[in-house]
Structure 1
C-alpha cells in the first residue's frame, strides 16, 4: 500500500519559532522530532503572505500569478481544475480536511471527501447584517456548533479579543479540551478510527492558531509570561514615531505598542505555538496506537508568519522575514523514502511546492497546472542538485503594496505605489536591520534582482512593468481579472 500522507498546517507561525533553530525561549519538542525524522528547510517563504492567497497556492501548487490571488480578498469562488486533495482522491486515497480551509464557498470541498471545518472568525460570515443565511458562521462552522453543544452559549468572541489583534491577549477561559487547537487534534484522532482501512489516507490537519486571538490555555501562558523575552528586531530604516497613536489600537498593524502589552502578546503567541506542538505530539502518539505512524509522510508548514513587533510592525502581509518566512519540515518517521534524516536544506522553497512534494512522495502524477516543484530531490541530494534561482513574492496591500525577490540569502523589495526599494543581505543581516540600497558594493546584486522583478511583472494586467523598468503608482489589485472570467 502507498504511504499515508499528513499535511499539518498552522496559521501565522514565524519561521524562527522552533527550539531546534535555537530560539531563545520557544519550546517545540514534537516539531523538533519531526525535523530529526526528516528535513528542515531553512529558507521557506510564503510568496503572498496572507491566508487566502497562500492557501490557494498550497491547495493548487500554483504561483500567485497563476491562481490570480495576489492579495487578500474574501468571497472569490475557488474554481481550480486540479487541487492537492483532488489528486489524492483520484488516486484512491481516503481524503479528509480538519480545521481551517479559508476557501469560498465556505463549504467547498476542494477535492476532499469530507471537511470538518473551523475557519476562525471569517468576517463575512460573522457580520449578521450582511450575511446570507447559507453562509452564516452558525451554519458553516463545525467547531462553533460543537462548542455550543458542549457549553450551551459559548462563542468565539467571549474573550473580547479580535481575530486580527497581535498585541492583546487573554488566556483561554474554558477547559483546555474545548480550545480550537485541541478540537482539531480530537477530530483528527477520530478520523483515524473511522477511516477506510483498505485505503491509504491523506489528512490535512489545519490549526487556526497561532493566528489571533492570542488565547492560549493558562498552563501554556504560564510557561512564558515571566520569562525574559527577546526584543523585536528594529531596523535603522523603520518608523520611530507614531503621532496618530496607531499602536494603541487592539488591531494595529504598526505603531508604538505599550511595552507590557507587547510582552504579554509575545508570551501568548509563543504559548500558542507550544500548545500546538503538544497537540501534534498527542496526534503522533495516536498514530502509533493506530499503527500508521511509520507508514506516513508528514509535512509541517505555516501559511505565513507574524511580525510580532519587528520594526514596529504587526500581523502579516508585508515582505519582511517575520511575515513572509515560514517553518517547513518534511518528515518520514518510517524512513521509507530515503530522505537524509535530521538534515537541513537552505534552498528557497514556498507554498506552491507543497502539492508537488506530497504527490511525489506518494508516487502520484503531478498535473501540468502545477508551478511548484517537489522538494523530494532536495531531501535526498541536497545542495548537489539545481534549483530555482529565486522566489517572487508580492501582496496587494494599499499604499504598502509590494513585490519582492529572494533566494533566502538576500532580498530585494519594491513598493509598487511609491517606488521605494530595499535590499537586505540576509546571510549577514537575517533580521533585516540595514537597508543596503545605496551601498556601492551591492549595486550589481541589486540591479540583478530588480531586473528579475521587471521580467516577472512584464505583461501583468496592473502595468507594473514595461519589460525594461518598473512602473510605480499603478492601481494594485488583490485578485487578477482572469479569476472572475
Structure 2
C-alpha cells in the first residue's frame, strides 16, 4: 500500500503576487521559492477571495466564498456548521497541526460564555491542533526569547516591531532600522524551527500548517534584511499626483483615503523605506523556507510531501495612496501560489506556469483530492489536480471573483459618510484578462479597461462607449453569484424511496 501523503501548507501574510523572482520581479529575490516553482507548478493568476485576514482565511480554509461562509470582517464568527480541510483530513486519521494562526472567529453558539475565544478574532480553525499558536500575542516566541536571555517588551504584542536604537532612514540613517533581535531568533525563524522540530519527531504522516506573519506589518526586518534593498531604488508607486486626485475616483475610495490607518504617508522617503523593508521580509521568509525545504530533503520526506505556498491577501504598499489591504484593487487580492506535488503523476508538469484564473477557494479541494478525501459539497472552489498533472481541465473559470465587506459593527463612520446601512457596506468584484467590474450594494459601480488601464486609474462605467461592456459584466457577476449560492442540501431530494442525492460540478 502506498504511503500516505504528507502536507506542508504554508501561508505568508500580505504577500503581493508579483513579488517573486520566479515571476521576473525587478528587485525581490526569492531563490528558494523559485526552486520550489521549478520543481512544482507556479500559478500566475491566483487571487484571494476576500480581505482582511479573517474573511480571507475563512475562504482559504473552508473552500467557500464570503457570500456563503459570511465571516465578513475580522471578528465575524465563522458558522460552526461549515467544515474545513482540517476536519476532513482528521476523518482520514491525520492530526492537522498549526504553527502560527488561522484568524478564525469562533461561533459563540458553540462556546462557553466564559470562553477566551469570545474575546478575540484570532481563534484556531476547528479541527486543527495548535502546536505553536501565535498572532497578536506571540507568547510561544516571547517566552522562548525570555528563557534564552533576550529582553522582551512588557507588552509582548510589540515584540514583532522592536527596533534597534538609532535614527530611522527618513531621518538620515543610511538604511532602515533593524529589528532588535537577530534573524536566527526572530518570529519567522522561530516558527520555522518549531515546524522542523515537529516534523523531525513525527513518525506518522503529517499535515502541518505553517502560517507566518511576514511580510505583514510592522515593517521591521532583522539584519541583514533591513538593508537588503535600497529604499531609493525600489520601484515607484502606481498612484495619481495626490490623495485628493486619487479620491475623486469613487466615494468609497474618498472615504478610505480619509482614514489614517489606510492612507499612505506623504513622506516619500518613509514610504520607500516601508517598501524596501517589505521586500526584505519576503527574502527572509524565503531564506527560512529554504532551511525547511532542505530539512525535508535531508530527512527523506521531500518525495512524499505536498507543499503549498500562498498568502491570505496582498498589500497596497502605496499604490493608489493606500496601505494595507482593502477595496477592489488587484494589489490587495493578487497573491502567489506555488504547489509542489511529489507524486510521479506530477512529473510532467514540473516547472510549468498556469495562466488560468485560480483562487484561494481551490486550496481545500486540492488538498483533500490528493489525500483521497471526498470534497464537501460546500466548496465553491475546485481541485487544481489537473494542472499539477499537466492536464487542462475540461471546464474552468474564465474570471476571478472576490468580495469586500467594509461594515464595522463597532464603527458606523462609513455608513454616515456614504449614506449606507450596515448591510449595504459591501462590494463584489469580477475581473478577467480585459475588464474589471466592481459592484456596490448602494454606491455607483466601477469599470476598468485593464488592457488600456492596467493600473486601474480610469473608471469608464459612465462612458457611453462602454455601456454594452457594463451590462455584460453586471450580468456575469449576477450569474456568478447565482451559480455559487450556498448549496449544502440543494443536491438532495426526499422521495418515496428515501433521500436521493446527485452532485454536480460548478462549471
Q: Normalising TM by the smaller chain, what interval? A: 0.7 to 0.9
Offset from partner CA, 1:328-365 (integer Å, 9 cap, x none): 11112564534511111122111111000111122222
Structure 2 match to 1:230:
235
- Secondary structure of 1:434's counterpart equals coil
After superposition, the Cα gap between the structure-2 partners of 1:8 and 1:324, relative to the gap in structure 1 and judged at 3 Å, is same
Offset from partner CA, 1:268-311 (integer Å, 9 cap, x none): 00000011010110100111121101211111110000000111
Moved more, 61-70 or 220-229: 220-229
Which of 110, 130, 150 pairs up with 2:126?
110
After superposition, the Cα gap between the structure-2 partners of 1:53 and 1:39, relative to the gap in structure 1 and judged at 3 Å, is same
1:242 CA displacement: 8.5
1:444 CA displacement: 2.6
Distance in 2 separating the partners of 1:460 and 1:379: 25
CA-based RMSD: 3.2
1:376 CA displacement: 1.3
After superposition, the Cα gap between the structure-2 partners of 1:440 and 1:365, relative to the gap in structure 1 and judged at 3 Å, is same
The within-5 A match list for 1:40-51 is 40-51=42-53
1:218 CA displacement: 2.1
TM norm structure 1: 0.81
Which of 404, 407, 418 pairs up with 2:443?
418
Structure 1 match to 2:196:
189
Q: How many residues align?
A: 433
Distance in 2 separating the partners of 1:412 and 1:253: 23
After superposition, the Cα gap between the structure-2 partners of 1:109 and 1:255, relative to the gap in structure 1 and judged at 3 Å, is closer
Q: After the TM superposition, which parts of structure 1 deviate over 6 Å for at least 4 consecutive aligned residues?
A: 241-244, 246-249, 458-461
Distance in 1 separating the partners of 2:472 and 2:247: 35
Contact 2:400 2:430 in 1 (8 A): yes
Moved more, 334-343 or 87-96: 334-343
After superposition, the Cα gap between the structure-2 partners of 1:86 and 1:437, relative to the gap in structure 1 and judged at 3 Å, is same
Question: Is 1:402 the counterpart of 2:427 in the alignment?
Answer: yes
1:248 CA displacement: 11
Moved more, 428-437 or 6-15: 428-437
Distance in 2 separating the partners of 1:170 and 1:457: 47
1:3 CA displacement: 1.8
Which of 140, 143, 158 pairs up with 2:141?
143
Offset from partner CA, 1:84-110 (integer Å, 9 cap, x none): 111112112232111122123355452
- Secondary structure of 1:92's counterpart equals coil
Distance in 2 separating the partners of 1:240 and 1:307: 17
1:200 CA displacement: 1.6
Structure 1 match to 2:496:
none
After superposition, the Cα gap between the structure-2 partners of 1:211 and 1:27, relative to the gap in structure 1 and judged at 3 Å, is same
1:80 CA displacement: 4.0
Which of 290, 301, 320 pairs up with 1:311?
320
1:78 CA displacement: 5.4
Distance in 2 separating the partners of 1:4 and 1:242: 48
Structure 2 match to 1:262:
271
Question: Is 1:341 the counterpart of 2:350 in the alignment?
Answer: yes
Q: Name structure 1 gaps, 5 residues minimum.
A: 122-136, 162-166, 462-485
Question: Is 1:283 the counterpart of 2:283 in the alignment?
Answer: no
1:313 CA displacement: 1.3
Contact 1:30 1:277 in 2 (8 A): yes
Distance in 1 separating the partners of 2:45 and 2:483: 29
Structure 1 match to 2:332:
323
- Secondary structure of 1:25's counterpart equals coil
Offset from partner CA, 1:150-171 (integer Å, 9 cap, x none): 325333315468xxxxx99742
- Secondary structure of 1:193's counterpart equals helix
TM norm structure 2: 0.77
The within-5 A match list for 1:127-138 is 137=137
Question: Is 1:375 the counterpart of 2:384 in the alignment?
Answer: yes
Offset from partner CA, 1:62-87 (integer Å, 9 cap, x none): 111121123x2316255244211111
1:42 CA displacement: 1.4
Question: Is 1:432 the counterpart of 2:437 in the alignment?
Answer: no
Contact 1:248 1:258 in 2 (8 A): no
Distance in 2 separating the partners of 1:187 and 1:98: 8
Structure 1 match to 2:303:
294
Offset from partner CA, 1:186-239 (integer Å, 9 cap, x none): 1010111221x2x32111111011110011112012110355111011269974
Structure 2 match to 1:475:
none
1:372 CA displacement: 1.2
Structure 1 match to 2:9:
7
Contact 2:188 2:212 in 1 (8 A): yes
1:438 CA displacement: 4.3
Distance in 2 separating the partners of 1:204 and 1:4: 11
- Secondary structure of 1:322's counterpart equals helix
Q: Name structure 2 gaps, 5 residues minimum.
A: 106-116, 164-169, 249-253, 407-413, 419-424, 486-507
- Secondary structure of 2:96's counterpart equals strand
After superposition, the Cα gap between the structure-2 partners of 1:109 and 1:102, relative to the gap in structure 1 and judged at 3 Å, is closer
After superposition, the Cα gap between the structure-2 partners of 1:313 and 1:186, relative to the gap in structure 1 and judged at 3 Å, is same
